[in-house]
Amino acid sequence: KDFPLPRSLSDRLAGRPARAVHALSGVTLEVRRGETLGIVGESGCGKSTLARCLVRLHEVDGGRVTYGGTDVATLTGAERRAFNRRVQMIFQDPYGSLNPRMTVRQILAEALSVHRMVPTARIPDRIAELLALVRLPSDAADRHPHAFSGGQRQRIGIARALSVEPEVLVADELVSALDVSVQAQVVNLLLELQERLRLTVVFVAHDLRLVRHISHRVAVMYLGKVVEVAPTATLFDDPRHPYTQALLHAAPSLDPGSRSRRAAARGELPSPIAPPPGCPFNTRCPHAFDRCPAEVPFLTSRGPDHVAACHLAAPRFESAR
């Protein structure tokens, strides 16, 4: 996916007020069929914006989202509806998106009817199958959303998304509002469903532990840019971008042994409205040099299936010491 024009710049050119968290710039990222791609970064880095662009909840200015090679902005009519069905978003707070006046049965029946997924006579059976799929008891169908715990509501949200037989699920901070023990249950359910239904999952989260657990590959974002993408084990064992290294340093429980070998980021997170020139991390990077504020680094290869956007050839803190 390509967004060559910085959103904040396009806003300024169009005379629109700047929208801090909406700035994405030079984001190029592919999501592969059947994988779980984790997207991590601090709040305000643009990961939610990116997720919303993927499902077309945000219009993309000066960029392109393609699906199976087709620019989704060019889809019309039936193709557009097919895309809307194939790519489903599941939200952090399903309570906000579940109609409190409807029972679970009505919520699922509505989703099934909108896309004419099954003949009307088949709807009750399909609802029972969906509830079993997300491990809710069959009597859940006749209760209202308020009768459920947060984790159960997430399962209802997942069942609703799955009711239209999507190919891609985009989950933005799916479990961050839940207790840790419940988080694991919902994430493990998603992992299981991903394998069983061969779903493609985009898992957006700030919790590195969860992202590591669920993702095949991970993309790290900083101030509206993707700064590193690698297979999960590579990213956590051998991060090449100084920001990724700092992010892992800030989460010592992930990797206690290597904390001392990685440098923390200095200073404050700059405003996403006006990111620093050149490399967006240059104001906080322990390895910044004269080229960094002068020139934007692009994603370049650091190994098999591993890219990072940094001017240092091999920016490992260990070797820089």
User: Where does this chain bind Mg ion (CB under 5 A)?
Assistant: 48
Q: For residues 174 and 223, which CB has a smaller minimum distance to ligand SF4 in the complex?
A: 223
List of long-range contacts for 268-272, beta carbons under 8 Å, 24+ apart: 269/42, 269/44, 269/223, 270/223, 271/20, 272/8, 272/20, 272/21, 272/23, 272/44, 272/45, 272/46, 272/223, 272/224
Nearest approach, Cβ of residue 222 and ligand SF4 (Å) = 9
The interface partner of residue 60, options being ligand SF4, Mg ion, none and the CB cut-off 5 to 8 Å by kind, is none
Specify whether the CB–CB gap between 264 and 250 falls below 8 A. Answer: yes
CA distances to 14, 229, 245, 254, 300 from 261, in Å:
46, 21, 9, 14, 24
Q: Please name the residue that has the structure tokens 């892992």.
A: 248
272 binds, among Mg ion, ligand SF4, none (CB under 5 to 8 A by kind): none
Report the nearest approach of Mg ion to the CB of residue 202 (Å).
13
CB of 117 to Mg ion, least distance (A): 30
* Residue 297 contact, options ligand SF4, Mg ion, none, Cβ 5-8 Å cut-off depending on partner type: ligand SF4
Residue 237 CB coordination number (10 Å): 12
* DSSP strand pairing (306-308 vs 300-303): antiparallel
Q: Minimum distance between the CB of residue 47 and Mg ion, rounded to whole angstroms?
A: 6
Nearer to Mg ion, 48 or 200 (CB): 48
What, of Mg ion, ligand SF4, none, does residue 48 touch, CB below 5 to 8 Å by kind? Mg ion
Q: Which among Mg ion, ligand SF4, none contacts residue 311 (Cβ within 5 to 8 A by kind)?
A: ligand SF4
Q: How far apart are CA 80 and CA 238, in angstroms?
A: 40
Rounded to whole angstroms, the Cα distance separating 282 from 269 reads 11
Q: How far is the CB of 270 from Mg ion (least distance, A)?
A: 18
Shortest CB 173 distance to ligand SF4, Å:
26
Q: Compare residues 172 and 228 and give the one whose CB is closer to Mg ion.
A: 172
Tokens of 1: 């996916």
Q: Are the beta carbons of 200 and 33 closer than 8 angstroms?
A: yes
What does 310 interact with, of Mg ion, ligand SF4, none (CB < 5 to 8 A by kind)? ligand SF4
Q: Would you tell me which residues interact with ligand SF4 (CB under 6 A)?
A: 241-242, 279, 281-282, 285, 287-288, 292, 297, 310-312, 315
* Nearest residue (CB) to Mg ion, 36 versus 48: 48
**Cβ neighbours for 32, distance < 8 A, ≥ 6 positions apart:** 200, 217
